[in-house]
């Protein structure tokens, strides 16, 4: 049985900057989302929508998780993330509650926060140990320019949802701020974002930029690490500039199908991927060689960064 047959909705575990070893759960087809962010590493949104439905059969997702769990594999977090916005799936709360019932794993919901203005979404999000939302704009115009949301989604709804979630959620609430050169990196812009984030009262603020080249069809330049650290003090709590850490599966144990399934959802910088896999860059290139030759995986340089991704993402 191949990886894709066994795990259609699970990917990894992957090394996460913030969650250690994280088993991803992808509830959406590529790429169903509420936003079409200019900084997205996966690509342009193919279905831009606010319509919630059971995009993948919830029972099948849970069955895959149980198969994975029965195999005895390790993970620190079970993380709802992947190809789109997980809260668009009407059963995401059922998945979180099932994992929590297993009693062994922490759970994370990596959301853009765009649907938290809906009470039913906040109710289900509260089943996670950690919820991440994104606030990278300071008004409607900047929200539209950076996130390019579906019709009917406004910056006011995003912020109202984030504040309501904080009032109702007892777990860890993280806010990610994606800073982009020429979009939202001027001091007065960052200070305006920081003031809004302060009103959400998050447990942590993570400052980020386009560490991997964006794939959404818009030229986007990263903000330097020095600049991120310079503005970190604008936030309360102070913004964290995360560093890549963690370990992947045991060296050499991923099948070809597992590599393809992982990289389809998680394109990575070549050096970081080699570090995560406990290999040298040369060893990793040799391991990926057959997949590159078969046209399944691409190793290419963009903006001075050598990236590894599947062919369907790179074009």
The confidence score (pLDDT) of residue 304 equals: 60
pLDDT per residue over 131-161, tens digit each? 999 999 999 999 999 999 999 999 999 999 9
Whether the pLDDT of residue 276 is over 80: the answer is no
Residue 3 has pLDDT above 50, yes or no: no
Q: What is the DSSP letter of 164?
A: H
Taking alpha carbons only, the member of 273, 301, 269 closest to residue 287 is 273
pLDDT of residue 42: 77
Note the pLDDT of residue 242.
65
Asked if residue 258 has pLDDT above 90, the reply is no
Percentage of the residues of the chain whose pLDDT score is greater than 90: 55
Quote the pLDDT of residue 272: 62
Mean pLDDT, rounded, for 63-86: 90
What does the buried/exposed string (b/e) look like for 186-199 if buried means 16 or more CB atoms within 10 Å of the residue's CB?
A: eeebbebbbebbee
**Structural domains for the chain:** 3-246 (3.20.20.70), 256-315 (1.10.10.10)
The per-residue pLDDT for 246 is: 39
Token pair 């059922």 is found at: 94
pTM of the predicted structure, to 2 decimals:
0.78
Helix (H, G, I), strand (E, B) or coil at 299: strand
| HEC per residue, 67-109 | HHHHCCCCCCEEEECCCCCHHHECCHHHHHHHHHHHCCCEEEE
Least confidently predicted of 102-111, 140-149, 236-245: 236-245
> pLDDT tens, 35-58?
999 988 777 888 999 999 999 999
């Amino acid at each position: 049985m191949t990886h894709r047959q066994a795990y259609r909705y699970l990917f990894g575990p992957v090394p996460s900057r913030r969650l250690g070893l994280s088993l991803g759960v992808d509830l959406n087809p590529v790429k169903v989302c509420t936003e079409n962010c200019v900084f997205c590493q996966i690509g342009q949104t193919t279905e831009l929508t606010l319509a919630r439905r059971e995009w993948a059969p919830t029972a099948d997702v849970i069955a895959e998780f149980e198969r994975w769990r029965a195999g005895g594999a390790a993970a620190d977090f079970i993380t709802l993330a992947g190809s789109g916005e997980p809260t668009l799936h009407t059963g995401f709360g059922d998945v979180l509650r099932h994992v929590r019932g297993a009693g062994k794993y922490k759970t994370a919901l990596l959301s853009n926060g765009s649907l938290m203005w809906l009470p039913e979404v906040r109710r289900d999000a509260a089943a996670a140990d950690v919820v991440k939302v994104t606030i990278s704009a300071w008004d409607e115009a900047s929200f539209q320019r950076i996130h390019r949301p579906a019709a009917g989604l406004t910056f006011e709804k995003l912020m109202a949802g984030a504040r309501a979630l904080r009032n109702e959620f007892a777990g860890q609430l993280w806010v990610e701020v994606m800073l982009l050169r020429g979009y939202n990196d001027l001091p007065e812009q960052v200070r305006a974002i920081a003031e809004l984030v302060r009103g959400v009262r998050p447990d942590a603020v993570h400052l980020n930029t386009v560490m991997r080249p964006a794939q959404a069809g818009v030229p986007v330049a990263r903000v330097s690490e020095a600049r991120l650290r310079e503005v970190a003090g604008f936030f309360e709590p102070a913004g964290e500039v995360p560093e890549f850490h963690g370990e992947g599966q045991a060296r050499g144990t991923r099948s070809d199908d597992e590599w393809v399934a992982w990289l389809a959802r998680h394109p990575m910088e070549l050096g970081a991927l080699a570090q995560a896999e406990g290999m040298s860059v040369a060893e990793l290139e040799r391991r990926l060689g057959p997949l590159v030759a078969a046209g399944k995986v691409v190793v290419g340089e963009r903006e001075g960064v050598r990236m590894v991704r599947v062919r369907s993402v790179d074009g």
